[in-house]
Amino acid sequence: MVEVLLLIGFVVAAFVGYNIGGATTGPAFGPAVGADVISKSGAAALMSVFFFIGAGTLGQRVVTTLGEDLVTGGNVFTLETSIVVLFFIGGALFVGNFAGVPASTSMTAVGAIAGLGLATGTLDRAVMGEIAIWWIVAPIIGFWVSGVVGRYFYPAIDSWVAIESTDGALFEVDRSGIVPKPVPGPNTTRRELVGGFVVIAIGCLMAFSSGTSNIANAIAPLVALDNVEMTPMILLGSAAVAVGAFTIARRTLDTLGNDITDLPLTAAIVVACVSSGIVISLSAVGIPASFVIIATMSIVGLGWGRATRTVTVRQGISGEKEPKVSVGALKADETGPIGEGDPTDIPSASDLFNPSTSARVVLMQNVVPILSTVGALVTFTVLFRFVW
């Protein structure tokens, strides 16, 4: 009986990993796919490799936090409770993936485990409080760092990494030798090639950061068991993520790369660097972070910083000049000194975001973690009161 339950646990953990691959590949490589720098299959392959690297290194610390520190009491995580927790994590993420929306896997997983802890009275409120505080602080940091970049450094970055697309593919596969190798397309310029490598490298960084934070969401409940080793579970979880990246992630790649926003490539690179840096830093100290929420606030902060370039600090404090603050500022083509430029040239937010898709994303970002948390809390409350 134990062997059967353990097998079920492995299957459910793989199901969670599959949905993580679907939910996180879009944020990592959506900008690159949307800019036609890389194919969906190429994005999935890179996602698989760098997620595994992140999971096998810093990811182990987050596994320990979720599997051992968040709930106290040695007998809380049993095969049965672990399977139920993973079921709610995977089920909630599947709802988001089915809708084509990359939900926060960390918030979904922590919510399910917290539901177990609340139902059994074993939730370590200090650890939960620390995680919750960082969920609030990290997006604020992302906002302000991106705001500073947008106000003071964005024009220089834009002139360095801007890609001027030419006709034809950016890369082609040369099969003339024994081993096929990628080569520049026939019309690819050096600047376009460098820009392409930059945006792909940023996607790999984001995939690594996803591995550091999200592998725990798939395997932590099982690793908490005495007879389950971490390394084989990391291999299982990473393999499941790869399957999700090659299959269901195609929907989130379309959403992030084409549907939700016409985000300039330079802005996407800045947001990716800031968000990934924060996630990796938190993973290094064992804190599961929500990349999607941090990235969203980074976009807003970057737009705010761009919009306020038309106003100096003195003008802003004295009220002499008010900036037109809008995320549409990310499309403004203003590169002059701070305090100069016409704020009426900044496009409106509706020119940058697709309102209907954005509303769907915001809705599902809240619904998915709520489904996981409430579902686990109610289920475990009933089970421990009437069954177990």
Task: Give the pLDDT confidence score for residue 205 in this predicted structure.
Answer: 93
- Name residues whose C-beta falls within 8 Å of residue 388's C-beta, 6 or more positions apart in sequence: 80
pTM: 0.80
Question: Which among 306, 352, 35, 260 is positioned nearest to 157, based on CA atoms?
Answer: 306
Indicate the pairing of strand 181-184 with strand 171-174.
Answer: antiparallel
Residue 192: both structure tokens together:
């376009």
* CA–CA distance, 176 with 187 (Å, rounded to integer): 20
Question: Which among 250, 251, 293, 262 is positioned nearest to 275, based on CA atoms?
Answer: 293
| Number of structural domains the chain divides into | 1
Question: Which among 77, 80, 76, 84 is positioned nearest to 112, based on CA atoms?
Answer: 84
Task: Give the pLDDT confidence score for residue 353 in this predicted structure.
Answer: 45
pLDDT in tens, 103-160: 778 889 999 999 999 999 999 999 999 999 999 999 999 999 998 998 888 888 877 7
pLDDT in tens, 343-360: 444 444 444 445 565 566
Report in angstroms the alpha-carbon separations of 90 from 281, 324, 383. Answer: 26, 42, 20
In the chain, helix, strand, coil percent, each to 5? 75, 5, 25
Segment holding 274, helix H or strand E: helix 265-284
164 exposed, middle or buried (CB, 10 Å; 0-12, 13-18, 19+)? exposed
* CA–CA distance, 92 with 20 (Å, rounded to integer): 11
Residue 295: both structure tokens together:
């990235």
Which range of residues forms the domain containing residue 182?
1-387
Percent residues over pLDDT 70 in the chain: 77
Task: Give the pLDDT confidence score for residue 74 in this predicted structure.
Answer: 60
Positions of E strands within the chain: 171-174, 181-184
In the predicted model, residues of the chain with pLDDT beneath 70 are 1, 35, 73-74, 100-102, 161-171, 252, 254-263, 265, 309-362, 387-388
Would you say how long the chain is, in residues? 388
Kindly report the number of other CB atoms within 10 A of residue 344's CB atom: 7
